[in-house]
Structure 1
Amino acid sequence: MHRRKIPHTPVQVTELGFGASGIGNLYRTTSAEDAAAAVDAAWDAGIRYYDTAPHYGLGLSEHRLGAALHDRPRDQYVISSKAGRLLVPNNHPTGVDTEGFVVRDDLRRQWDFSRDGVLRSLEDTLERTGLDRLDIVYLHDPDDHWQQAADHAMPALAELRAQGVIGAIGAGMNQSALLTRFLRETAADLVMLAGRYTLLDQSALDDVLPTAQEHGKTVVAAGVFNSGLLSQNRPTEGMKYDYQSAPPELVDRARAIADVCERYGTTLPAAAIAFPRTHPAVINVTLGMRTAEQVRRNVELHARHVPNGLWDELRAQDLIRADVPIADEERRPRRS
């Protein structure tokens, strides 16, 4: 699997990444055996970029991912985690987490983008994963904490990067406007953009993507299925879009895109994975995976050829924006 270098850093990521929220029991229980098998399948398929966070399962994802990678050669893979939510004892547990993960709530999340909070978060992550270092650290969802994140958390990460403790730093969010500020105004090397450059939402063209190009920085695309609506060949009523039930008009739009995909010999989920990679600022697509079967399906979809003519047709039918830049996949720079 091809690798792409994060500019001005020593870090290279494979073009497909393993998102580890699912093995943290996002929405439903995943067994320890299935979680380990998923990481094994990803490794066997050549995936060498793995993303996790304390938020995912109140540390369960970090525990499981660290254990699954423990015996792998450390210099052969890249792992990212996040800072901004400390895990602290919960003095009023209800028995189950209330933020989407099927785990006990003996811990709770506490927002903290201070320097000390970031350092403590990273120490806790290293303890949970059992790893000696992290390759990439993102500030996680600092939507309501810009000032502290920009003035304290990012300088703390930059200092660790200068010391060689971290390879690359950035921020990860579901919105593009604030990520644009991180790229423009802070020491961030890259951002993880969730759901804002997809077949159904190209709003990142207005800010974060051109800013990344202007400043020689890069973007990791996540949430490319928009919470599920783009994950099946034929979208149906009741599917999710951005964590909510998809509005009927978006279901109709996804079906129209699926029709075009069929005419071009591909599928909606294959096109959803391929679409962000056509933008020159995007170096990786990271997909959530919880079982070996999901890994194998995603790898197969990622490997499918999606003809450039498909994007032209989608633009002609006003199903994607007319200003979507389409790079010839065969001529995009790669590192192996």
Structure 2
Amino acid sequence: MELTLGALGLGCAQLGNLYREVDDGTAAATVAAAWDAGVRYFDTAPHYGLGLSERRLGAALRAYPRAGYVLSTKVGRRLEPDPAGAGRRDTEGFAVPADHRRVWDLSADGVRRSLDESLARLGLERVDVVLLHDPEEHMAAAVAEAYPALHELRAQGVVRAIGVGSKRWDVLHRFARDTDVDLVMIAGRYTLLEQPALDELLPECERRGVRAVVAGVFNSGLLAEERPHAGLPYEYGAAPPAVLDRARALAATCARHGTSLPAAALAFAAAHPAVTSVVVGAQDPDQVRRNAALAAAEPPPKELWADLVAEGLLRPDAPVPGGTP
């Protein structure tokens, strides 16, 4: 795959009003702030805000040369109009009217139609990367129909790279092991809080030359602030007490070493040799600038990682900046 994603990408679920409404001006300014910070990889999906993220991202990116950035979107959920839902709110975490419904469609025709519909919403002639989105409950169709369709799109030059995005490391491991995907996007399963992708998925990516993109490095928001609290989401809902306690313990150790939980979370996720890019969302330009500054800063001191291991808060075999702890 001859694509340069860059160490930091912008995840665009928030452009689709994830958790709360964001106005058009703030959404455009968020993308502009990312560009100004040197971000050149942008990831979206039809699922995000029932197409709102794609529309806003496409409009914002038209201000920049198309050859200057990498854009990925996803297939698997197609959007169909639902006039009866216009007076309701979406029930999947996005503050938008439910005027469309998500329909699972992993057929070859569904993959092509989904991409065409995404291009129309984006207002662009092409995307660089297409990812199969959350196929875990539809694996038979994903392997037998959707993946071959993606393979054909790449062979035809319609897209430059293909992959799969999921919170399930085992699903991604199967695709990394058994297919010819270019990349996998693992969401929330390789973070400072939890590292189940470390055992099989990331080693398989190294063996096969599959790029790993790590998303959800703040575990939906729990690791995004220096002092985790009960009001922050985990897995798009309330954090269980044990998970919140662990996040607080991580934060306390970070503070003792003169760094912050978000800084350590970003540095840790980027340190694995299979990881090519870390994708982080943002609600506004200030969050973009903060995340970019943290990603560009010197990594936390090596003593932090050793202490996290000693305290049982980090696996001793997890790669960290500067080598194993």
- What interval of TM-score do these two structures reach, taking the shorter chain for normalisation? over 0.9
Question: 1:123 is matched with which residue?
Answer: 116
Question: 1:188 is matched with which residue?
Answer: 181
**Separation (CA, whole Å) in 2 of partners of 1:325 and 1:68:** 36
**Separation (CA, whole Å) in 2 of partners of 1:249 and 1:166:** 43
Q: CA deviation at 1:292?
A: 0.9
Question: 1:320 is matched with which residue?
Answer: 314
**Separation (CA, whole Å) in 2 of partners of 1:150 and 1:76:** 32
The root-mean-square deviation of aligned C-alpha atoms, in Å, is 1.3
- Residue 288 of structure 1: which of 270, 277, 281 is its match? 281
Structure 2 unpaired stretches of 5+ = none
Question: 2:9 is matched with which residue?
Answer: 17
- Residue 89 (structure 2) pairs with residue 96 (structure 1): yes
Question: 1:50 is matched with which residue?
Answer: 42
**Separation (CA, whole Å) in 1 of partners of 2:144 and 2:3:** 25
Question: 2:237 is matched with which residue?
Answer: 244
Structure 1 unpaired stretches of 5+ = 1-8, 330-336
One-letter code of the match for 1:83? V
Question: 1:334 is matched with which residue?
Answer: none
| 1:63-78 equivalent positions in 2, closer than 5 A | 63-78=55-70
1:214-240 Cα distance to aligned partner (Å, 9 max, x none): 111111111111112111111123432
- Residue 193 (structure 2) pairs with residue 200 (structure 1): yes
**Separation (CA, whole Å) in 2 of partners of 1:129 and 1:35:** 14
Shift of the 71–86 alpha-carbon distance from structure 1 to 2, 3 Å rule, reads same
**Separation (CA, whole Å) in 2 of partners of 1:109 and 1:56:** 11
Give the conservation status (yes or no) of the 8 Å contact 2:169–2:201. Answer: yes
Calculate percent identity across the aligned residue pairs: 54
**How many residues are paired up?**
321
Structure 1 residue runs of 4 or more that deviate by more than 4 Å after TM superposition: none
Give the conservation status (yes or no) of the 8 Å contact 1:280–1:327. Answer: no
**Separation (CA, whole Å) in 2 of partners of 1:83 and 1:53:** 8
- Residue 274 (structure 2) pairs with residue 277 (structure 1): no
Which moved further from structure 2: 313-322 or 133-142?
313-322
**Separation (CA, whole Å) in 1 of partners of 2:18 and 2:230:** 22
One-letter code of the match for 1:308? K
**Separation (CA, whole Å) in 1 of partners of 2:240 and 2:95:** 26
Q: CA deviation at 1:308?
A: 2.7
Q: CA deviation at 1:319?
A: 0.6
1:131 is paired with a residue of what secondary structure? Answer: coil
**RCO higher in structure (CA 8 A, sep ≥6):** 1
- Residue 128 (structure 2) pairs with residue 135 (structure 1): yes
Question: 1:27 is matched with which residue?
Answer: 19
Which moved further from structure 2: 50-59 or 319-328?
319-328
Given the two structures, how large is their TM-score scaled by the length of structure 2?
0.96
1:294 is paired with a residue of what secondary structure? Answer: helix
